[in-house]
Structure 1
Amino acid sequence: MEKQELHIDFEAAKAAFETYLDEYDRTDDKIHLKIVHTYCVVECAEKIATRMHLGQEDVQLAKIIGLLHDIGRFEQIRRFHSFEPGTMDHAVYGAELLFGPEKMIRRFVKEDTFDKLIETAIAKHSDFRLEGISDAHTLLHARLIRDADKLDNCRVKLEETMETLLDMDEATVGASPISEKVWASCLAGESVLSANRVSGMDYWVSYLALYFDINFPETWQIIRENHYIDRIAARVPYSREDTKEKVAHLVAALHQRMKG
């Protein structure tokens, strides 16, 4: 069977995305964070796909998924001024926004060749575990957007103010304990369930634990090159000795995972 080609005009898609963003308050710190994040995820997706030596069609497809992956976040922020999953499943909402009756996706991509792939990758990009995808091409892009999203979150956790991220300062985060369920996930080498996070430190170690769920060695390579794990861990002043020891253990486990 002859492979279908996808012709994506990324600059046109970007212009349409900018028009969409005009509906929101760009001066809001959380809106601004997500705009910057979106374009950085596009860059990360392109970087990972290129290092994987994927063809240009897949590189462009990865970029368009990166551009649209968090489109649901902007409405979540406007309604709730929060990133908390309990307020809205932004990934599912974004997929419904794009592929619902109004077919907003046509503003960004004129062809419908890979609609199902794009919809699935966006809807599942923030799932706790990536499951239920049997098509190999769709699975590739679902994994790729998850890696690109996590890769840029390294930058986000280093550049954004703690108040924007967690509505508290570094010292408050560092003085809080790690909850039992959260630490059990860390010890198991798993991402942390959002519902189990209670303290500021729960959130911070969950940001590190999500790197247990990296799919491609090319992504790990970029994380290693930028020393992201150590830099994220070092950002918070740990005033509790037990927390300091646990974070050191977590960092060591992540370094071991990076080695494969």
Structure 2
Amino acid sequence: MQKEDLDYFREWFFEYVNRFFSPDSFTQENIELKIKHTRRVCENTLVIAKSEKISEKECMLAETIALFHDLGRFEQFAKYKTFRDSESENHAILGVKILNKEGVLFRLPEEEINLILKAVEYHNLMEIPGNVEPSGKLHFFCRLIRDADKIDILKLASEGYAEEEKCRNPALELYLPDARGYSEPIVSEILNNRMAKIGDMKNRNDIKLLRLSWIFDINFPATFALLKKYGYLETIMSSLPESKETEVLKIHFEKYLNTMESGGRKGNSKP
């Protein structure tokens, strides 16, 4: 990949998303939200990538994946008015279909095209498929985009919870009710150091816990450093209702984070 390729992709992306601008204020708000999200994920990706001291060419490849990782979100929201894949369609697979249909990546070598498409397809899975070689390039770039994406969603969530009722966006809360307590399967996954499942969510408290559970799928030291620097996790945790169960969960999260900060991080082999 060359610089002119990345420049072309950036220009194409903004021309593409302009197609979805709408006079409907709610639709426009969420289209703009995803454009801003994409910009920040690109920034996060480069911060993490540079901390891993990968080459300039690999940084451009990582930024291209970040640029296109949520491409399917625009058509998804314009068509279904939701970001919930289970009630519309898988936005990652939709993004891959759009990239193939539009022929956006035609200028790249086949190996790079396949890597970008697979990284986009896998970025929202519960885990990277087992057939992806852990020491290979694809695995590295998958972990990179997954970390960069999570950081920004946690940023948006923490800002929303800090404001609470002032600026609640029902699309980001997946239209779930503001009910008491937590769903047992969500709590169980967290206490076993696993990411919670979207299908187990029943209310807004579950959404908060699900987002907090993403710390169990953080891969790079730079990601943990960013989370600590901006305090996103602490802000979300402070928005949880006061209860004995909440205290148990907070202690569990804090213990896990302390373990990670003291050297218990996952491996992070470079491509």
Name 1:78's counterpart in structure 2: 78
1:226 aligns with 2:230: yes
The structural deviation recorded for 1:207 is 0.8
Name 2:7's counterpart in structure 1: 11
Q: Decide which moves more: 218-227 or 198-207.
A: 218-227
With over 3 angstroms needed to count, the CA separation of the structure-2 counterparts of 1:213 and 1:185, relative to structure 1, is same
The structural deviation recorded for 1:246 is 4.0
With over 3 angstroms needed to count, the CA separation of the structure-2 counterparts of 1:218 and 1:77, relative to structure 1, is same
Q: Is the 8 A contact 1:185 1:192 kept in 2?
A: yes
Task: Within 5 Å, give how 1:92-111 maps onto structure 2.
Answer: 92-100=93-101, 102-106=102-106, 110-111=107-108
The structural deviation recorded for 1:257 is 4.5
Separation in 2 of the partners of 1:188 and 1:200?
21
Per the normalisation by structure 2, the TM-score is 0.83
Q: Is the 8 A contact 1:128 1:191 kept in 2?
A: yes
Deviations 1:186-230 (A, max 9, x none): 111111111111111111110110121011122112212222211
Q: Is the 8 A contact 1:158 1:232 kept in 2?
A: yes
With over 3 angstroms needed to count, the CA separation of the structure-2 counterparts of 1:167 and 1:97, relative to structure 1, is closer
Q: Is the 8 A contact 1:229 1:251 kept in 2?
A: no
Q: Decide which moves more: 23-32 or 9-18.
A: 23-32
The structural deviation recorded for 1:168 is 6.8
Name 2:173's counterpart in structure 1: 166
CA RMSD of aligned residues (A): 2.1
Separation in 2 of the partners of 1:258 and 1:32?
35
- Equivalent position SS for 2:85: coil
Aligned-partner residue type, residue 162 of structure 1: R
Deviations 1:54-86 (A, max 9, x none): 110111111111000000011111111111120
Name 1:112's counterpart in structure 2: 109
Per the normalisation by structure 1, the TM-score is 0.87
Separation in 2 of the partners of 1:157 and 1:53?
30
Name 2:16's counterpart in structure 1: 20
Deviations 1:103-138 (A, max 9, x none): 2334xxx22340010011000000001122127011
With over 3 angstroms needed to count, the CA separation of the structure-2 counterparts of 1:12 and 1:104, relative to structure 1, is closer
Deviations 1:11-52 (A, max 9, x none): 332111110011112652221211110000000000000111
Q: 1:184 aligns with which of 182, 188, 192?
A: 188
Separation in 2 of the partners of 1:159 and 1:11?
31
Query: Structure 2 stretches of 5 or more lacking a match?
Result: 161-166, 265-271
Task: Within 5 Å, give how 1:13-162 maps onto structure 2.
Answer: 13-25=9-21, 27=25, 28-86=28-86, 87-100=88-101, 102-106=102-106, 110-113=107-110, 114-131=112-129, 132-134=131-133, 136-160=136-160, 161-162=167-168
Aligned-partner residue type, residue 224 of structure 2: W
Separation in 2 of the partners of 1:168 and 1:69?
23
The structural deviation recorded for 1:167 is 6.2
Aligned-partner residue type, residue 109 of structure 2: D
Deviations 1:136-172 (A, max 9, x none): 0111111111111011112111234433421679xx7
Name 1:256's counterpart in structure 2: 258
Query: How many residues end up aligned between the 2 structures?
Result: 246
Aligned-partner residue type, residue 182 of structure 2: I
With over 3 angstroms needed to count, the CA separation of the structure-2 counterparts of 1:11 and 1:159, relative to structure 1, is farther
Separation in 1 of the partners of 2:169 and 2:252?
24
- Equivalent position SS for 2:169: helix
Separation in 2 of the partners of 1:250 and 1:83?
29
Separation in 2 of the partners of 1:191 and 1:244?
17
With over 3 angstroms needed to count, the CA separation of the structure-2 counterparts of 1:8 and 1:96, relative to structure 1, is farther
